Amino acid sequence: MAVVNSAMPNAKLLIAFATSSACRSPKNPKAPLTYNIMALMPAFVDGLMDSAMEQNEIIDCFENSYGYKSRQEFARARNLIKKQAAELSADPERYSRLIRVGFGLFAHGGIGENSLGEDVPKNTHTPLQLYNVLRYASEYSDGYVWLYSLPWIKMPPDYLRAISDFRKQKALLRTPCTFYAKQMAISNSSPAASPHAGKQNWFLSGDYITLSSNPDQGGPLNDTGTVSFRPQADGAAVDGLYEVLIDVAHSNVKKHNAGSPPGDRNGSFSYRISLRPDSAGQLSFDNGSSAEFIQFQPGDADNCNPGGGGPVALTEFIAYGPDSPAGATGGIELTNVNHSDIIFELRDDVSLNYGMIAVKSITLIPANLQKAGNL
């Protein structure tokens, strides 16, 4: 690093295998038995940081992501690089400050390192999958995504077009629009004929809006008692396809059950998205999504402490998009829509099913913008 800085003091070092390559078990990454053939890599990266200047960047380009296809895989990898691998450093705080996240992708045809072929079903990625993994990698990296292909020049036109589209759109793909619940207009969306209509069935709890199941505050959060969130911002959404990410806290247990054994955590809640009746915009649903309420049923893995030791969980989940646990396979398409036109509704599927559902934020993630050629 000292020699590099003598000639190029602003150098950025991209490393295909960095400290994260020495991580195996997240339970105790410092135990010698969890080290692999890359056991000396943490010491090497620490040495680089010892002589690094303020302008240097050290990027873990994470070749292990070659075959990734889902958003969850990139999310876990970022956590591995930034948090778990930091524990292998002699100075975890410095590591977290200096190390950047990158991802490598390797789309190929057939078996082995072959170029992508015109027979798409035999390739590891379709053009759409390649486009999607590029945006997932962009979303969870610090701006470094690299492609490996043999030979590049022989990639079929549809794949080159997917890469070109991503390059044109990546600036907006990396700028999702997040609406924080406490800054949104909140209302009881129960039917007018319901005895609970117009009452308040929510309250502020830190960064979360907790949806109440107290009849005195508006009734159970089921089909007769839903809560709607509407952004107060008047900005216009860029026309195109979006995924929707909802950040919630929930106690995935029945109201009168402590949550043990884990099988008793069988609650669910539902959500839907719509536009205000007076909106001039248009909302449409990609294949597999729906204008009706969609059910989300968290499993034990979504809880902080499965087994009854603490049933309240903090969960981010894709409500609309290919990674949706609710079974939706498509996103939503917005055309001529203002943010303040959008309505998000949540309800409990069974009266008193939950001890708590709380919403922190709702995010629109651009997935495939229609105006790519103008960006």
Q: Write the CATH number of the domain with boundaries 177-374.
A: 2.60.120.260
2-19 residue pLDDT tens: 999 999 988 999 999 999
Under the banding of pLDDT at 50, 70 and 90, the label for residue 307 is very low
Cis status, amide bond into 157, omega within 30 of 0: no
**pTM for the predicted model, two decimal places:** 0.75
pLDDT at 262 over 50: no
Residue 45 has what pLDDT?
97
Residue 111 has what pLDDT?
63
Domain ranges in the chain with CATH number 2.60.120.260 = 177-374
Residue 1 has what pLDDT?
94
241-257 residue pLDDT tens: 999 999 988 765 444 44
CB 272 within 8 A of CB 250: no
CB atoms near residue 374 (< 10 Å): 7
120-142 residue pLDDT tens: 888 888 998 999 999 999 989 99
Q: Read off the pLDDT of each residue in 106-128 and give the average, rounded to a whole number.
A: 82
46-84 residue pLDDT tens: 999 999 998 899 999 999 999 999 888 998 999 999 999
Q: Read off the pLDDT of each residue in 73-102 and give the average, rounded to a whole number.
A: 94
CB 262 within 8 A of CB 307: yes
Distance, CA of 351 to CA of 226 (rounded, Å)? 12
pLDDT at 239 over 60: yes
